Amino acid sequence: MDDMASLRPSPDGVVVIGTETGAFVRLDDLPRAYAYSTMDRSIFMNPGLVNSRVVVPFGNYDVIIKPTKVDMVLYANNHERMKSEKDVLRRFNDIDSALRVFSEGKRIAKSTTHEKGITKTYFANPFGAIQRREEHEIIARRIFELLFSNNIFVGEILTQLGIPGMEVEGPRIAATALLKFLKGGSKVGSGNS
């Protein structure tokens, strides 16, 4: 699934059920060959303009709605430069630290909106959560309590995507560190502040 989903408790812990069978992404963020290799199944919007978009299908409905066990929930930190390899992936030790980072929604704008530089948007999402913030804070705390009580890794990953000169290398380093961690071969830092 892409970034839209629903978390819920299950006998196995916490599961996620997706709500999208495709990704709505900036054409500029994809390798040109990939975007056009799915041309027969994609929807292109203003491909000749800056900040053009494409809807790329990547999953079937029956796969997307199948409950999938949650192992990790990560905040993608694109604004902070890593100091060492163990800084790439950080685990929060408590709910309040996690909620503070997730709710601050700090990021470097990547020409996907009219914003520039470092911005803060409640839960990094201008839709829904901010319009019903009081209700959302109750739900968010309940979700984070569920994640922590099930010992699910809640943290942040430093992609460095918003740092000039690190747009490609930063996500590569982050992906490599994540894969290494998942294979059991790397340590993580603390995301508590």
pLDDT tens digits along 131-177: 888 999 999 999 999 999 999 999 999 999 888 999 889 999 999 99
- Whether residue 112 is predicted with pLDDT greater than 70 in this model: the reply is no
d(CA 136, CA 142): 10
Q: Which of 12-21, 78-87, 111-120, 126-135 has the lowest mean pLDDT?
A: 111-120
CA atoms within 13 A on the CB side of 42: 20
Tokens of 11: 């006998």
The pTM of the whole model exceeds 0.85 = no
Closest Cα partner for 141 from 131, 129, 158?
129
Q: What is the pLDDT of residues 55-71, one digit of tens each?
A: 877 778 888 889 999 99
- How far is the first Cα of the chain from the last one, in angstroms, to the nearest whole number? 31
- Whether residue 1 is predicted with pLDDT greater than 60 in this model: the reply is no
Q: What is the pLDDT of residues 12-23, one digit of tens each?
A: 899 999 877 777
Work out the pLDDT band at 111, boundaries 50, 70, 90.
low
Contact partners, residue 148, CB within 8 Å, separation at least 6: 94, 95, 98, 154
Is 133:63 a contact under the CB 8 Å cutoff? Answer: no
Contact partners, residue 56, CB within 8 Å, separation at least 6: 22, 23, 25, 30, 35, 38, 41, 42
67: buried, middle or exposed (CB in 10 Å: 19+, 13-18, 0-12)?
A: middle
